[in-house]
A and B are shown apart, each in its own frame.
Chain A
Amino acid sequence: MLNIQGLSKTWGRDTMDERVALDQVSLQLRKGEFLTVIGGNGSGKSTLLNLIAGVHQPDAGRIYLDGVDLTALPEHRRAAHLSRVFQDPLLGSAGGMTVEENLALAARRGRRRGLCWGITSAERASFKKMLAQLELGLEERMSSRVGLLSGGQRQALTLLMAAMRDPKLLLLDEHTAALDPKTAARVLALTNRIVGEYGLTTIMVTHSMRDAIDCGGRLIMMREGRIVYAAEGVQKNGLKAADLIGKFQSDAPAAC
């Protein structure tokens, strides 16, 4: 489904601050697979996601999704193929627009937008049903501005928006990191439910070892722009946080 070949990105090339963010990363994902990506700050995990999403252009390498070469497509054109949830709850939805307007925008992802009404009454009814399944009471607040919702509610809404239009790939960029522990757990449970229900091929970047182990069927650890450890299936299910910390340290280069 997803095929990444030799993806590289260096920030500030040929300057004093030159820093390799991603170094020849190759990665294949099968349809319906749920991959968690773990790594410290500057490990390249967010860069990987941003390159897939088209926020930045890679220096080298290619990205194929379901046979389509995404590498040259601008960010908004890739949205037809993949969807995203950001770390900052404020970024994934339009705070000045209503809940239903946000959903209507997501319902048109990857489609031509013309001069038909931006939201139809048939859509309103189906949005109401979808929101009710979140069990957050949002179905009663469809015409409230999203800016009035809590961070957890906004992430839940963004998740729902990301699941619409049957994306071939869902990218989650530390999407629970900005929430309090209780809300983060709820949003993560909802993530697992939505990914399962819609059968989404998913990459979740996280810095929580616990979440990386508990979610999905495959895990990779990144450091200094490379994949330094990978586990899946039984091997992954048997992992403990302590094992991962061990991996972090055992592979660490000598301090200099």
Chain B
Amino acid sequence: MLNILLGAVALGLLWSMATLGVYMTYRVLDVADLTVEGSIVLGASVAAVIIQQGGNPLKATLAAMAAGMAAGLATGLLHTLLKIPSLLAGILSMIALYSINIRVMLGTSNIPLLRLRTVFSYLQGAGLSKNQSAMLTGGAFAGLAIAAVYWFLGTELGCALRATGNSPQMARAQGIDTDAGKLLGYVLANGLVGLSGGLIAQYLGFSDVQMGSGSIVIALASLIIGEVVFARSGGRLRALCAMVLGSVAYRLIIALVFEAGMPATDLKLFTALTVAAALYLPTAKQQVGQKLSQRKEAKQRAEHPRTLQDLGKGHNG
């Protein structure tokens, strides 16, 4: 059981870069970028191929990130240069990446990494278990990713990017090239997703062309859990940390649900329902809040009538 939980924490940390990437597009740029489904596999495939060919695992991981950035560039160009709506641009990239990923994996749909040196081998060599090493390595990458994203969003360029997502008309009026902003956002976001994919492949011990299916929903679930549970208030740093915590929390929840006996094939349904419920949460809170305040007011009026009309209502009610 403990090992299952450790594994869940490790996997959550490795996924957290993808969640940070989705935060960049979904929250900062205000677009739902489906490229993620393909760019996470692209990262995994690039890392797997390089490691399989005897490449350095760290270099393979960075190459995964660069590949993700290229995928983001493609979506960004489809959206800004060809003026294709963002949702459709992401879907096109996602579909194209399916073929590209098979090409990257030298025509196969799966590359196993059994007994090969991965980025986690460094700490395993120092006597740690695989999960312990994955937790530490993943935690280090997640920490670096948080620091990088936090720093970037605070720079002039990052502020311009936030304005682009928040109010494009204002951004242009203040001299910001919103197309360039979106392009940069797509590139950085998918770079993070590719990095995540590269690390996940090394942890799972394989890259598979199907492994990205549903990843946008998983990242969104992590993002929303993070926001709702860990970042109801506070600044940007806290919001970014919440992305990592949300990713870990999601994996822990999934691990516990599996332990409780849910069939693995129901995972995607469960995740979709979780996201739907979480997206409804703000609306639900508003509705309940309204009802409560109405009830409170009616009660107050009945107890302390201010006008004759209130008195009438009190008697009737």
**A residues bordering B, Cβ < 8 Å?**
53, 74-77, 79-80, 83-84, 86, 90-97, 101, 104-106, 108-111, 113-119, 161
Residues of B near A91 (CB, < 8 A) are 167, 169-170
Report whether A83 and B159 are in contact in the complex, using a CB–CB cutoff of 8 Å: no
- CB contacts (< 8 Å) of A79 on chain B: these are 172-176
Number of A-B contacts (CB under 8 A): 87
Smallest CB–CB gap between A55 and chain B, Å? 8
Residues facing A in B160-188 (CB within 8 A) are: 160, 162-163, 166-167, 169-178
User: A161 is contacted by which of B152, B174, B177 (Cβ under 8 Å)?
Assistant: B174
Q: Is the interface of B mostly helix, strand, loop or mixed?
A: helix
In the complex the two chains form, is A76's CB within 8 Å of B170's CB? no
A53 to B155, CA, bound (A): 27
Q: Mark B129-164, 1 if CB is under 8 A from A, else 0.
A: 000000000000000000000001011111110110
Chain A residues with Cβ below 8 Å from B174 are 79, 105-106, 108-109, 161
Q: A91-B167, A93-B167, A93-B170 known; A109 and B175 CB under 8 Å?
A: yes
Q: Say whether A92 contacts B175, CB under 8 Å.
A: no
- Asked whether, in the complex, the Cβ of B178 is within 8 Å of the Cβ of A113, the reply is no
CA gap between A90 and B169 in the complex, in Å:
10
CA distance A109 to B159 in the complex (A): 12
For the complex, give the distance between the alpha carbons of A58 and B243 in Å: 46
Of the residues B154, B162, B167, contact of A117 by C-beta under 8 Å:
B154
Partner of A119, one of B152, B159, B172, B175: B159
Contact A94:B175 (CB < 8 A) given known A114-B155, A117-B155, A117-B156: no
* B interface residues, tally (CB under 8 Å): 22
Contacts A101-B159, A114-B155 given; indicate if A94 touches B166 (C-beta within 8 A).
yes
Q: Report the bound CA distance from A114 to B167 in whole Å.
A: 20
Contact (Cβ within 8 A) A114 B175 = no
A149 to chain B, nearest CB (A): 14
Binding site for A on B (CB under 8 A): 152, 154-160, 162-163, 166-167, 169-178
Pick the residue among A53, A74, A108 that contacts B156 (CB under 8 A).
A108
- Contact in complex: A113, B173 (CB < 8 Å): no
Besides the known contacts A95-B167, A108-B175, A115-B157, 11 further A-B residue pairs in the complex with CB atoms under 8 A apart: A75-B173, A76-B175, A76-B177, A77-B175, A79-B174, A93-B167, A94-B162, A94-B170, A97-B166, A105-B163, A108-B160
Give the shortest distance, in Å, between B170 (CB) and chain A (any CB).
5
CB neighbours of B157 from chain A (8 A)? 113-115
> Quick check: B156 and A96 within 8 Å, CB to CB?
no
Q: Would you give the shortest CB distance from A164 to chain B, in whole angstroms?
A: 10
Q: Closest CB-CB distance, B222 to chain A, in whole Å?
A: 21
Q: How far is the CB of A23 from chain B (nearest CB, A)?
A: 27
Cα A155 to Cα B173 in complex, Å, equals: 14
In the bound complex, CA of A92 to CA of B270 (Å)? 42
Whether the Cβ atoms of B166 and A118 lie closer than 8 Å is: no
Pairwise interchain contact B155-A115, C-beta atoms closer than 8 A: yes
The 6 closest A-B pairs by CB, nearest first: A79-B175, A118-B159, A113-B156, A94-B166, A96-B166, A94-B167
A78–B72 Cα gap in the complex (Å)?
28
